[in-house]
Amino acid sequence: MSLYISWVSPTPSYELRLATARLVHRFNFGPTPGQYENLLAHGLAAAQSAVLVHGRDDPGIDTVKSLVLGDLGPFPEGNRAKSNAFWRRIAKDSSDLVMWWLDRMVAARYPLTERMTWFWHGHWATSISGVTYPLAMKKQNSTLRNLALGNFEDMAREMVVDGALNVWLNNNENYVQAPNENLAREFMELMTLGVNHYTQNDVAAAALALTGYSTDQSNGRVTFNPKEHFSVPLGILGATGVFDAQSLAKLVVSKNDNVQFITDRLWFRFVSGSTAAPPTLAKSFASRDISSLVNALVHSSAWTDPANTLVKSPVEWFVGACRALKVRPSTLDAGDTQWLLSQMGQVPFNPPNVGGWTYGTAWLSGVNYQYRFQLAQNIVAKGNLAPLDVQPLDMLQACANWLGVPAWSRRTANALTLSLATPSELALAAILSPEYMVSP
Amino acid sequence: MINCEFDRRSFLKWTGASIVAAMTAPLSFESLARAATTTPLPAKTPILVLVTLYGGNDGLNTVVPFTDPVYKSVRSNIALSSNQVLPFSGSLGFNAAMPSMRELFARRKVAIVQGVSYPNPNLSHFTSMAIWQTASLTGATSGWIGRWLDQQPHSPFNAIGVGSTLPPAFVGDKTVASMVDVSGVQLPWGPVATVLPRLGDASPSDATLEAAAATSITDLFATAKRVGAHIPKSPSGSYIAQQLSVVSALINADVPTRVWEVNLSSFDTHTGEVGDQNALLGEVDAAIGAFMTSISAGRRANDVTVMVYSEFGRRVGSNASDGTDHGTSAPVFLIGNRVKGGLYGEQPSLKHLDENGNLRVTTDFRSVYGGLLHDVLATPVGDVIPSWHKALSVH
């Protein structure tokens, strides 16, 4: 493959530019102004360490006002005025919740925790369309954030009794007399083991193990009632015993299939949809320590392989552009922003189904581009374009470095050249270029 | 893939909607739009419209065996009584939410293919939908319509989906379908509007996904030019009705498109099934009724075939939450003025179930596709579904 790189200086090497761009876009939602050049100056090892920083006070996150949501109680009945007020409040809280999380992604100085929380949200894909109450969604979001780089067994044990997930997958209607299999099946298929690594008998038995839990939907609180629980020995995945949600999660996560499944899921979302994870990668997840797996991914040799391109999902593209242009999402019109994201197919807290969001070329339709343009227009209108304040001859390279693009193709360089006179046009065209829509 | 199960890796690949190779012939959007404008779909060209019901539609409460005592006893909390059914034979009737289908069936414009699924059904939404959309049991990464697209002379109009994210069925190994949206096409405005089309040009340095990103830009400008003016300004009705009204308007405007796709979600009725499913089926029914009325009044009255399908039917016995868990086979509807209406295949027994309490499979879905490929898309079945040759013809 011939890559047209005459629009960027020959040093540092294209490989370093590519690897660094991939790391900062995929693990940190993209560079802030100046960050890409700074990382390039310090070499790959420094970039690998930089994107892994997490778990310390984040002065960026500190600038996002904390969001406190109230318990709105049961659905109001009868009284129309009361009911209207209730649904307006649900809508307001839901919108605030989305903008609050987008703000955190954009504001973070050490974005790995938010980025991993975003990954896990797609993995344990729970939608407010089924849960209704933003408070329960926020509670789940905190759980995922607290354990985003923790131990996966802890995460599975917490999530199997997460209120929002239990409502979403009908565990509130799972009774000993007539089990509802929804949570049991998706827990094994999509969240822990992968399809075909269990039998229908395992699903039926796991559903019984998950009886006796009831969720207060308005706040996501789950209570266990031993009298409603199936406390007779069950055979699940070759083990026999009396299981509850905790011991079920422990058993399932202890299976070898869990190691490869989670490793593959991270590889698929962070590295490549077309190449397979190297066979040794799963070893880093043997202890179920998520940070060890992420660390191994970041230090893998995948980053210079030209095959490992990815399409940025709409939220990843949007957050990346906001970080570069220093635009806080909450300063944009909240309704408009969420409508455009939903037209592009991705609003946080609202995945289309329990399988999570789509991937790759599915995001690349003409219709998607129509809304991408409108969102880009709104970002650029509020954006800080100072990084383009350079001599015209230097503008294309400055733009690539600003946005963390390894190289412009001749096609894109020619098109962007038409906009050199107007920085806002150049910025708009650049974030709408193929090289920025994907992570090359 | 050599294993015969849809395994984890192919599942992962499939959820990625596959990887599409770069376009072989770099075409500018102007030339594409010009070609399309000057080449309307030739008269009498058959057209296929896919209606995908996501979530697993309960076939037994859609085409209802309302006189079968087993039906009443194993799902007593959700069984429809005779006054909730529109009978079309002594033993079967449409859900009463479907009066348009009942009427079209009476006029012999609806083929009901019974007991449709694939061998050894997997109860996973995602595996099942992957199998239906790829027409492969072994983990193909391309969709069945995508493979058909790969064999056509390239045009962004060969297949069009309604919405913004591509259905996996429409992703080929070399090319993908275009999309239009019920909100209509709005081109970028302002000074940058003349720059953006250039970002859609092919570039020799593009990797596969960059090429696909560039194509999405080209497709927006091309579809705007060709179809934008024909999209109804403010389509009314449910979302599925809006989608189908866009399709009928574009078909009647001679857009050179052979395959369309619309879809509706939320058929995963684990709880409170009767109210939810009736509402959804009512929307689908009204939308199809209006679509057929619109098509029948136009020049393409005899050219259009609609297929309505879901990834699986649901468990025969209901659960205690007045819903049903995941199941297997279900009826597929084929609708059109040229369709020979009636019942096809065999209604699976409610007594002789598989080991999980599910209906047995009496028709392989690939035979239904085979009939559509042969009768509608004039393509040898094996060219799209390797090593499959059966075709259930309803034309």
CA torsion A282-A288-A294-A297 (nearest 10°) is -10
**A185 interface with B at CB cutoff 8 Å:** yes
Distances (CA, A) of B224 to A53, A180, B37, B165, B191: 45, 47, 11, 17, 18
Domain of B310: which CATH number?
A: 3.40.720
Give this prediction's pTM.
Answer: 0.81
What are the tens digits of pLDDT across the range B265-282? 999 999 999 999 999 999
Report the C-alpha gap between B132 and B239 in whole angstroms. Answer: 23
Alpha helices in A304-422 (DSSP H): 314-325, 334-344, 366-382, 395-403, 410-417
Q: Which of B186, B195, B270 sits opposite A415 (nearest CB)?
A: B195
In the three-class reduction of DSSP (H, G, I as helix; E, B as strand; rest coil), residue A376 is classed as helix
- CA distances, A16 to each of A39, A287, A296, B209, B274 (Å): 10, 31, 18, 20, 58
B202 part of contact set with chain A, CB < 8 Å: yes
Q: What percent of chain B has pLDDT over 90?
A: 67
Quick: pLDDT tens for B85-105: 999 999 999 999 999 999 999
| Beta-carbon separation of B198 and A414 below 8 A | yes
- What is the 8-class DSSP label of residue A66? P
Smallest Cβ–Cβ distance between B205 and the set A1, A190, A264 belongs to A1
Q: What is the mean pLDDT of chain A?
A: 94
At B53 the three-state DSSP class reads strand
By Cβ distance, the residue of A311, A352, A367 closest to B181 is A367
In a domain, B125, yes or no: yes
Q: In this structure, is residue B8 part of a structural domain?
A: no
Show the beta-strand stretches assigned E in A166-243: 213-216, 221-224, 234-236, 239-241
- Residues of chain B found within 8 Å of residue A344, distances taken between Cβ atoms: 164
Distance CA B62, CA B285 (A): 11
Sequence-ordered list of residues with C-beta below 8 angstroms from that of B73, at least 6 positions apart, any chain = none
Give ipTM to 2 decimals. 0.90
Residue A104 to residue A334: CA distance in whole angstroms: 15
**Domain membership flag for residue B297:** yes
DSSP, res A307: T
Q: Decide: residue B112, CB within 10 A, 0-12 exposed, 13-18 middle, 19+ buried.
A: buried
Instruction: Locate the chain A residue with the closest alpha carbon to B186.
Output: A370
Domain span including residue B133: 47-153+164-173+260-384
In a domain, B273, yes or no: yes
Domain count within chain B: 1
Asked if B168 is an interface residue toward chain A (Cβ–Cβ < 8 A), one would say yes
> Is the per-residue pLDDT at B331 higher than 60?
yes
Helix B8-15, helix A256-270: angle, nearest 10: 20
Residue B353 scores a pLDDT above 50: yes
Listed residue (A427, A195, A187) closest to A320, CA to CA: A427
Interchain CB distance below 8 Å, A185 and B123: yes
Q: Does residue B27 fall inside a structural domain?
A: no
Residue A326 and residue A320: Cα distance in Å, rounded? Answer: 10
Is position B345 within any domain? yes
**Whole-number pLDDT of residue B21:** 29
Report which of B381, B356, B355 is spatially closest to residue B370, judged by C-alpha positions: B381
Q: Which of residues 217-256 of A touch B (CB under 8 A)?
A: none
Q: Is the dihedral of CA A225, A230, A236, A242 positive or negative?
A: positive
B295 half-sphere exposure, CB direction, 13 A CA radius? 28
**For residue B242, is it within any domain?**
no
Query: Are the CB atoms for A234 and A202 separated by under 8 Å?
Result: no
Task: Pick the residue of A370, A410, A414, A433 with the most B CBs within 10 A to test the interface with B by mutation.
Answer: A370
Query: Residues 332..371 of A with a Cβ closer than 8 Å to B: which?
Result: 343-345, 352-356, 358-371
d(C-alpha A300, C-alpha A280), whole Å: 10
Residue A369 to residue B217, Cβ atoms within 8 A: yes
The string of pLDDT tens digits covering residues A55-85 is 889 999 999 999 999 999 998 877 778 888 8
The verdict on B54 touching A (C-beta cutoff 8 Å) is: yes
| CB of B212 less than 8 A from some CB of A | yes
